[in-house]
């Protein structure tokens, strides 16, 4: 008697499900609870790292890298993760201000930022502040270097003072 390949495939699938059920039923209540906890952690970790990636745009240096733990069901569950974020300064102070806004947003994007996330955000805020100071310094230097023509025209001896009518 020949068995159709599709029937063999269904039979193999049913045997696999039966083995899977047997493995699950062999677990103790505490092992099943641990698996449920690891599943919840895995979901949370993946959502956390996805939030960094979604908010990070061009400052993300690498895909999420996860740390795994094997559960009693022999599956691996993510229990930690990280995403590389580029915190280097941009070519100009103005670009650095914009970039650090994105870095800070990416670091604080998850609903439950970690201590490392807060540290990256603080670093980005500091670099952004330093870049803003540099932008202000450059603007001030440009104003000082400008000819004093606007100041001279307003203080011309030939111009009438607002107070001359009251003297």
Sequence ranges of the domains in the chain: 30-147
Of the pLDDT bands very low, low, confident and very high (cuts 50, 70, 90), residue 151 is low
3-class DSSP assignment, residue 60: strand
- Which tens digit of pLDDT belongs to each residue from 74-126? 999 999 999 999 999 999 999 999 999 999 999 999 999 999 999 999 999 99
Q: Which of 2-6, 12-16, 48-52, 89-93 has the lowest mean pLDDT?
A: 2-6
Prediction pTM value = 0.69
Give the per-residue pLDDT at 159. 52
Model pLDDT, residue 164: 52
Query: Which pLDDT value is given to residue 145?
Result: 85
Above pLDDT 90, what percent of the chain? 68
How far is residue 88's CA from residue 53's CA, in Å, rounded to a whole number? 17
Q: What is the pLDDT of residue 139?
A: 93
- Which residues neighbour 87 within 8 Å (Cβ) at sequence distance 6 or greater? 59, 100, 103, 120, 123, 124, 127
Using pLDDT thresholds of 50, 70 and 90, give the confidence band for residue 11.
very low
Which tokens is 143 given?
């104003």
Question: What is the rounded CA–CA span in Å between residue 85 and residue 71?
Answer: 30
Cβ 85 vs Cβ 64: under 8 Å: no
> Average pLDDT, stretch 45-63?
96
**CA neighbor of 38 nearest in space, from 85, 70, 1, 81:** 70
Which residues touch 24 (CB under 8 Å, ≥6 apart)?
32, 73
Mean pLDDT of 150-167: 54
């Amino acid at each position: 008697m020949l068995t159709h390949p599709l029937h063999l495939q269904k039979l193999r699938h049913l045997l696999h499900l039966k083995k899977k059920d047997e493995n699950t039923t062999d677990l103790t209540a505490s092992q099943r609870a641990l698996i449920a906890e690891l599943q919840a952690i895995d979901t949370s970790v993946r959502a956390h790292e996805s939030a960094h990636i979604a908010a990070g745009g061009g400052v993300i240096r690498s895909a999420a890298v996860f740390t795994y733990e094997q559960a009693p069901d022999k599956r691996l569950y993510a229990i930690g993760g990280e995403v590389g974020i580029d915190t280097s300064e941009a070519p100009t102070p103005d670009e650095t201000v914009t970039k650090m806004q994105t870095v800070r947003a990416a670091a604080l994007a998850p609903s439950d930022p970690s201590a490392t996330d807060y540290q990256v955000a603080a670093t980005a805020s500091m670099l952004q502040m330093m870049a803003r100071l540099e932008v202000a310094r450059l603007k001030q230097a440009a104003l000082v270097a400008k000819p004093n023509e606007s100041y001279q025209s307003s203080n011309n001896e030939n111009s009438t003072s607002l107070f001359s009518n009251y003297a």
